[in-house]
Amino acid sequence: MSWTEKQSKTKDQLRRLNKAIPDAAHGFSTLGKAVKESGTLDFKHKEFVALGIAVALRCEACIVLHVEALLRAGATREEVGDVLAMTIQMGGGPAMMYAAKAIECFDELAGVD
C-alpha cells in the first residue's frame, strides 16, 4: 500500500471512529488543538516531536498524519532527517526501520523521487 493510500485509509478509519465515539473523539480533538495552539514551541516543532514519537512507537498511521502536517508546516527533508536521526539514536534498530518508512512517506507525499 502506498503512503497516499495509507493516508486516505487512516482518515477514513478516523472518521468512522469519530462517528462511533463522538464525545471521546471531540475530547481528544480539543486536547490536540490546545496542545498545538499554546505553549512555547511552534506548530512545526511540536509536529517534529510527534513524528519522533510515532516512529519510536512504530505507528504507521501516526507517521503519515504527522508527515502530512509537517509538509503543510513547510518542513524540509533535511529537518525531517535530523528528527529521524535523533529518534534512531534514542530508539535503536526498530526506530531505524520505522525512520526508513517515515522518510519514504515524506518523499512520496512531497513528490520527491
What pLDDT does residue 113 have?
Answer: 75
Whether 73 shows a pLDDT value over 80: the answer reads yes
Q: Nearest Cα to 79, choosing from 109, 108, 49, 57? A: 49
Residue 41 one-letter amino acid:
L
Cα–Cα distance for residue pair 111/105, rounded to 1 Å? 10
- Dmax (CA) of the chain: 42
Quote the mean pLDDT of the chain.
96
78-95 pLDDT tens trace = 999 999 999 999 999 999
What is this structure's pTM? Answer: 0.92
Check residue 30 and give its pLDDT.
97
Q: What digits encode the pLDDT tens for the residues 30-49?
A: 999 999 999 999 999 999 99
Query: Residue 27's domain spans which residues?
Result: 3-110
Provide the CATH number for the domain around residue 43: 1.20.1290.10
In the chain, the number of structural domains is 1
Summarised one tens digit per residue, pLDDT across range 48-61 is 999 999 999 999 99
